[in-house]
Amino acid sequence: MMNQHDIQSSAKPATTKRAFRVKPLAIAASLALSAVALPAAAASWWNANPHIAIGSRTINVKSKGAVGNGRHDDTAAIQAAINALPKSGGTVYVPAGRYMINTSKSINLHSHVRLQLASNAELRAIPSGKSRYHMVKVFNVSNVEIVGGRLTGDRAKHKGRSGEWGYGINISGSDHVYVHNLSLSQFWGDGLWIGATGKRSRLDRSNYITINHVNSSQNRRQGMSIGPATHVYIVNSTFKDTKGTLPEAGIDFEPQKQGPADTIRLENNTISGNHGNGIEMHTNVSGISFVRNNFTGNRGFGVMAIGSHHLTFNGNHATRNGLAGLRMSGKTHNATISGNTLQYNSTQYMSASRGGGGQSRDIQVSNGARAIKITNNKLTPKR
């Protein structure tokens, strides 16, 4: 499926400034590195609970007029709380309640800010007919944390039929962002997007993004999409039940011509029940590690790579997917598939519980793929 996302606008909030930028030379270096095996030293960059530099001040959104009764438009009040923080940042606290958000205006986060929702707090989209919207925007900032509560989209009451770009959280051109312990559901497009701002000649990729204990479910296009980005760690999270408009994947890596996505680790996640593939990886994707994830009951492949390279799969479990558990397609190359349990897949064609069918039931490698190393995997037993 070809990517349908545009690079985000490079316009920056007036109160933010970032130090990280991927200049053309850095892009070329990244592409050169991705053509060879990643060095062993690269295997220590991730942290499930990273340090994020947040300011010391705390503001309760109710002090700025937020109501949280499920009827009042609380967008301006929440934004006022964010804007009232000093340049050093701080915490914006959202207590229990349902806060209606105008997604055309969005909640725009600044650097060194934590958006903290109480466990029984919800940000809910006011229904609109917009083909593109954002509930929370993290654009060209650094050191941001989003934690707690629920974010709910408008897909059940959306007023239009066109477009597929309604985002819960959009992280673009930002670094050191930590999203954790929250749920997203029912968005017109993707629960989360991680990507870049600017153009390829001056691309600002997101960098050091951690997604931990996030549940993204019942979104219309994807649970999460990843564009140009690097050092993304996705851990202990769930991406399930995506359905509505193609590709309908749990997670879709789709940078393609926009710029590279590399140095990404998925660990101990569940990707299940999606109407498309569990995971899709397109071109310009490299250096992706899958460790101890579960790909279960997706209508398509558990994981499908299309032209990606330098991939590792270790200790994963793929079962009862409609097509094969893993598919190395197109010109995918330099992938290691080792120590995984891949059983009872291809349920569109075979029994979901009976043995037989050969290795291709669980692992498929296209004629164009190369340097695919497959060892010590537990596959569906032969009859």
Rounded mean pLDDT for each run of 10 residues along the chain, 383 residues in total = 42 38 37 39 81 98 98 98 98 98 97 98 93 94 98 91 90 98 97 92 94 98 98 98 97 94 98 98 97 98 97 98 97 98 97 92 97 98 88
Structure token pair of residue 314: 């270790």
Whole-structure pTM value: 0.89
Name the one residue in this structure whose structure tokens are 């958000």. 101
* Beta carbons within 10 angstroms of residue 67's beta carbon: 16
Q: Which residues neighbour 26 within 8 Å (Cβ) at sequence distance 6 or greater? A: none
Q: Structural domains in the chain?
A: 51-244 (2.160.20.10)
Q: Do 214 and 50 form a contact (C-beta atoms < 8 A)?
A: no
Separation CA 182–CA 178 (nearest Å) = 11
Structure token pair of residue 22: 């991927």
- In this prediction, residue 263 carries a pLDDT of 98
**Dihedral, 67, 73, 76, 80 alpha carbons, nearest 10:** 10
Q: What is the DSSP string of 243-305?
A: -SSTT-EEEEE--GGG--EEEEEEES-EEES-SS-SEEE-SSEEEEEEES-EEES-SS-SEEE
- In this prediction, residue 43 carries a pLDDT of 55
End-to-end CA distance of the chain: 35
Separation CA 302–CA 306 (nearest Å) = 13
Q: State the chain's maximal CA–CA distance in angstroms.
A: 67
- In this prediction, residue 61 carries a pLDDT of 98
Name the one residue in this structure whose structure tokens are 């083909």. 131
Angle at 29 between CA 24 and CA 35, to 5 degrees: 130
Angle at 208 between CA 203 and CA 209, to 5 degrees: 100
